[in-house]
Chains A and B, each alone.
Chain A
């Protein structure tokens, strides 16, 4: 039996990665070692290539990049990575169940055909998820509190989809 050859000589000593920001995205752990000021939007889109979070503006005004941070609504364009250490981020890609089944909101969006161009809809769904977490039985005034913009005018169908999903989720919870 030949002996196991010795390791080649090297000066490289493995080191644990120092610094970096640990963040959980859709249940998976990531460490961001780039610019701590990078907005979550670009981390998701450019680094992780999770492109369901859309770029629509840079000042949190349109909501196309809506995500949940520790279960609460956030606008990824206005969230710096440095503020997300240890946080749990959920994007549209992580909304469906782990079994692959669609979330009641996603089902409701399809049932009501709340689409048009579709660009704002992932953000709209995330904003609705935030609303239903706070208010499982929303009225029109609650829905009016969603400030995500839709350039195409799908608001009536979004409204119906939220009401439909809320009903489904309430009956499922009982």
Chain B
């Protein structure tokens, strides 16, 4: 994914003062927000930086926080350029920035999205100027007070410092600085040697609120007269309501209304409307709504197409993969010819299960709509999409719609969708009251936008010197773009033409096959890299083993000389093989790859290039009876310059454990045309006892621009685990989830 950078926005940075003497560096949208209304109300903050006379420095963070640490990282970037005193910084979430441009929304804050690890790169591009501009104004205010040249002054920890040692705190300068006219061009950002905050560890800005229970997630918000809505949704894709008896439900004390949610419109894109037909109970509290929902007597008509189990889809995929691809993704050289003459040939098939997001905060939304305005509070990864859903359903002008961005309890792609927003808006409109929509855990499993199912067929051949000369990778998958984009674009989310080993093997073919499914699919952490890296990195291991090569040496030789290959997808324009080799070497060194034969344990490696980041995993494990013990895990990562190493390590460790948990046991199954899983008892997330006590993270120091961190640690973790399982057991698992298959094969 490539996101257009709003390069022109720097020009619109705006500086002004307030009645209370604060300096505000923000955006023109502020011009029509009267200061009396803003006051000290930090929640309604509409600017990136606000310095109060008492020195309090409020930094507005624009991107949605879903556990990736973006608000802390973003505030650190601005605070660095500002030379703020971090102890005086308050990080406040911004709402979605939108202005009315002739009835159309004009996005005023630039990047506001949690997807594809793009927030930190975007912030690095355009938020440094915010801090630098504010700093320059403060310096010039001090210069004018002291009657000295601005370039004779320096700044540190929230103070301007003169050559003779005099100091002025930012708070004392805020009012004067607000009257300084900013230069036409923003000042140059710092050079790396001047950094005092970027590159140093800092804890999550919300930590104190989280550990005390004060942190408010969307599900914790309420409006005075809001009714709780619980919706019983049709479990059959495309199905609709056949019969409803709500008499018993209406008898429950606290229940006010029972309403229906229509079936989705097949002409509208998936994710922009409700996922399923439903019956909603509106009540004064959640318990009343849940009890009433359980007493609804409902019969559903099934949709035109039944949802199919992975098992059935795998059979269809087998037939498809024997034929021509829907999309020939890449074709280099002549694989058939290379294979014909090759002394070594390999083939394998991998299967990746349909899985659910299982984000811990279930979908929910608080919506207030009247003829004049609308308010939305929900866990959102794509606030603009939520805004557009609101605007479409209410017809309100853009400046009458407010979208708040509270911290979200995970997301992993689920909150890129706006189906739950659409539900809440429809109910609020029809009920004439604010609606607090809450999905139950069972709802979240039954009506997810699941990660696509995929079958991977790989072939390879090598010459007499055991050098790979041919490679094919064919994928049949239930593309997540189906139902959203024209069929000819479906492959784009499923296979990347420049993913390795493309560019490393002379005769190489990538092909993608469209597999139809009635289950809704959506974006999932690291997108298809999660599935594709598993197949690729496990197969590389198989080939290395078949060629009697060391898995590390084989990979390093395959990557070859350090060079930059063209990479057209998200994370490009280049893929540096040297950087990938380096993280692979670091991971191998840290796990003790050279000494792996002395332990009696299984060691596995894998590496992958994801969204501009280079990550390798190394795993050491053993089977003790039928129990898997993971002794050591290393995650080596080159993510460019790291803004907050403590946050990046949290993201990499988290991604590693998430990948293990997902790869080992998670899968969605169907019975009687509907999803079976209803909770964590039949969709087991890994517990503390099942996970390694630690993951050793090796961060490569880098001067390259930051890449973000959330997705990168995910794709290579599962194949490293599977490769270690093979080394430790001689059982090669060709499936995710790994565990049931391993138990079958052992």
| Contact between B360 and A58, CB atoms less than 8 A apart | no
Those 6 A-B pairs whose CB atoms lie nearest each other, nearest first: A52-B213, A117-B67, A119-B409, A153-B657, A153-B654, A51-B220
The answer, yes or no, to whether A158 is at the interface (CB within 8 Å) is yes
Q: Does B408 contact A (CB under 8 A)?
A: yes
Q: What are 20 residue pairs bridging A and B, where the CB atoms are less than 8 Å apart in the complex?
A: A49-B222, A58-B440, A62-B441, A111-B203, A115-B204, A115-B210, A118-B207, A119-B217, A119-B360, A120-B409, A144-B687, A146-B688, A151-B358, A151-B658, A152-B67, A152-B410, A155-B657, A155-B688, A155-B691, A156-B695
- Asked if A45 CB lies within 8 Å of chain B CBs, one says yes
User: Beta-carbon contacts of A16-45 to B below 8 Å, as 1s and 0s?
Assistant: 000000000000000000110011001101
A53 in contact (CB, < 8 A): yes
Report the Cα distance A117→B691, complex, angstroms.
18
Report how far A50 CA is from B220 CA in the complex, Å.
9
Decide: A149 and B680 in contact? CB cutoff 8 A.
yes
Q: Beyond A113-B650, A122-B210, is A153–B691 a contact (Cβ under 8 Å)?
A: yes
User: B358 to A121, Cβ gap below 8 A?
Assistant: no
A99 within 8 A of B: no
- Asked if B203 and A113 make an inter-chain contact with CB atoms under 8 angstroms apart, the answer reads yes
- When C-beta atoms are compared, the residue in chain B nearest to A119 turns out to be B409
Complex interface residues of chain A between 83 and 141 (CB less than 8 A to chain B): 91-93, 95-96, 102, 105-106, 109-111, 113, 115-122, 125, 140
Minimum CB–CB distance for B80 against chain A, Å: 19
B648-674 CB mask vs A (1 if < 8 Å, else 0) is 001001111110010000000000000
B503 at the binding interface (Cβ < 8 Å)? no
Q: Which interface class (under 10, 10 to 19, 20 to 34, 35 or more) fits B?
A: 35 or more
A109 shortest CB reach to chain B, Å: 5
A151 to B409, CA, bound (A): 9
Q: Is the CB of B286 within 8 A of A154?
A: no
A11 interface hit (Cβ, 8 Å): no
Known contacts A47-B285, A57-B680, A159-B688: does B215 contact A118 (CB below 8 Å)? yes
Q: Within the complex, which residue of A93, A149, A150 is in contact with B213, where a contact is CB–CB below 8 Å?
A: A93
Bound: A95/B210 CA distance, A: 13
> A64 to chain B: closest CB distance in Å?
6
1/0 contact string of B341-367 vs chain A (CB within 8 Å): 000000000000000001111100000
Q: Name, among A54, A95, A158, A159, the residue most crowded by chain B CB atoms within 10 Å (CB to CB).
A: A54
Residues of A within 8 A of B212 (CB): 52, 92-93, 95-96, 102, 106
Question: Which B190-235 residues sit within 8 Å CB-CB of chain A?
Answer: 203-204, 206-208, 210-217, 219-220, 222, 228
Partner pick for B410 among A38, A57, A119, A125, CB 8 A cutoff: A119
A106:B654 contact, CB within 8 angstroms = no
- Do A46 and B654 have beta carbons less than 8 Å apart? no
Per-residue interface assignment for chain B, residues 669 to 698, with 1 indicating a CB less than 8 Å from any chain A CB and 0 otherwise: 000000000011100010111011111000
Beyond A121-B211, A145-B689, A152-B658, whether A54 also contacts B203 by CB under 8 A is no
Query: Which of these, B359, B438, B646, B650, contacts A154 with CB under 8 Å?
Result: B650
Given contacts A54-B219, A54-B409, A56-B361, 5 further A-B contacts (CB under 8 A): A56-B441, A61-B681, A119-B409, A149-B687, A159-B694
Given contacts A57-B679, A92-B213, A116-B67, contact A151 B360 (CB under 8 A): yes
- A61-B685 Cα distance, complex, nearest whole Å: 10
Are A106's CB and B211's CB within 8 A?
yes
Q: CB-CB < 8 A to B496: which residues of A?
A: none
B628 within 8 A of A: no
Contact of B219 among A43, A55, A118, A153 (CB under 8 A): A55
B209 (CB) vs chain A CBs: closest residue: A118
Q: A52 to B214, Cβ gap below 8 A?
A: yes
Instruction: Kindly identify, within residues 139 to 174 of chain A, every residue whose CB is under 8 Å from any CB belonging to chain B.
Output: 140, 143-159
B442 in contact with A58 (CB, 8 Å): yes
Contacts of B650 in A (CB 8 A): 113, 115-116, 154, 157
State which of A45, A59, A91, A159 has its C-beta within 8 Å of the C-beta of B679. A59
Q: Determine whether the beta carbon of B680 is less than 8 Å from that of A62.
A: yes
Q: Name the residue of chain B whose CB is nearest to the CB of A117.
A: B67
**Assembled-state Cα–Cα distance A151/B358 (Å):** 8
With A and B bound together, what is the CA distance between A121 and B206 in angstroms? 12
B122 at interface, CB cutoff 8 A? no
With contacts A119-B361, A157-B650 taken as known, whether A144 is within 8 angstroms of B287 at the C-beta atoms is no
Determine whether the beta carbon of B679 is less than 8 Å from that of A154. no
Alpha-carbon gap, A49 to B222, bound state (A): 9
What is the chain A residue whose CB lies nearest that of B633?
A: A156
Tell me the interface secondary structure of chain B in the complex: loop
Q: With A119-B410, A152-B654 in contact, do A46 and B228 touch (Cβ < 8 Å)?
A: yes
Which residues in A have their C-beta under 8 angstroms from that of B69?
Answer: 116
Docked-complex contact A115 and B203, CB < 8 angstroms: yes
B410 nearest CB neighbor, chain A only: A117
A59–B445 alpha-carbon span in the complex (Å): 14
Chain B residue nearest to A38 (CB atoms) is B287
Complex CA gap A119/B655 in Å reads 17
State whether the Cβ of B521 lies closer than 8 Å to any Cβ in chain A. Answer: no
Interface pair A144/B688, CB less than 8 Å apart: yes
Is the CB–CB distance between A46 and B409 below 8 Å? Answer: no
- A147 and B687 within 8 A (CB): yes
Q: How far is the CB of B46 from chain A (nearest CB, A)?
A: 25
Say how far A43's CB is from chain B's closest CB, in angstroms: 8
**CB contact between B693 and one of A115, A117, A149, A156 (< 8 Å): that residue:** A156
Residues of A within 8 A of B203 (CB): 110-111, 113, 115
**B63–chain A nearest beta-carbon distance, Å:** 14
Residue of A nearest to B201 (CB): A113
Evaluate contact between A110 and B207: CB separation under 8 angstroms: yes
Residues of B contacting A42 in the complex (Cβ-Cβ under 8 angstroms): 285-287, 290
Which residues of chain B have C-beta atoms less than 8 A from A149's C-beta?
360, 680, 685, 687
Residues of B within 8 A of A51 (CB): 213, 216-217, 219-220
Asked if B694 and A156 make an inter-chain contact with CB atoms under 8 angstroms apart, the answer reads: yes
Q: Which partner residue on chain B sits nearest A47 by CB separation?
A: B285
From A35, A58, A140, A157, B253 is in contact (CB under 8 Å) with A35
State how many angstroms separate the Cβ of B643 from the closest Cβ of chain A. Answer: 15
Q: Which of A51, A55, A59, A158 has the most CB of B within 10 A?
A: A55
B451 within 8 A of partner (CB): no
Chain A positions within 8 Å of B601 at CB level:
none
**Closest residue of B by beta carbon distance from A156:** B694
Once A55-B219, A117-B360 are accepted as A-B contacts, the answer to whether A102 and B211 lie under 8 Å apart by CB is yes
With a 10 A CB-CB cut-off, give which of B214, B361, B646, B655 has the most chain A CB atoms.
B361
A residues in contact with B66, CB < 8 Å: 117
Is there a chain A Cβ closer than 8 Å to B529's Cβ? no
Least CB distance from B664 to A in Å reads 13
Contacts of A39 in B (CB 8 A): 287
What separation, in Å, do the CA atoms of A59 and B661 have in the docked complex? Answer: 20
Partner of A151, one of B215, B219, B407, B685: B685
Question: When the two chains form their complex, are residues A113 and B360 in contact, meaning their CB atoms are under 8 A apart?
Answer: no
> B59-73 vs A: 1/0 string, CB under 8 Å?
000000011010000
Task: Decide if B688 touches A55 in the complex (CB within 8 Å).
Answer: no
Residues of B within 8 Å of A148, CB to CB, are 688
A140-B690 Cα distance, complex, nearest whole Å: 12
Q: In whole angstroms, what is the CA distance A120 to B655 when docked?
A: 16
A168 to chain B, nearest CB (A): 14
Given contacts A42-B287, A45-B286, A109-B211, contact A120 B360 (CB under 8 A): yes
- Minimal Cβ-Cβ distance residue in B for A64: B360
User: CB < 8 Å: which of B286, B358, B691, B693 contacts A46?
Assistant: B286
Name which residue of chain A comes closest to B656, CB basis.
A153
Q: Give Cα A61 to B441, complex, Å.
A: 11
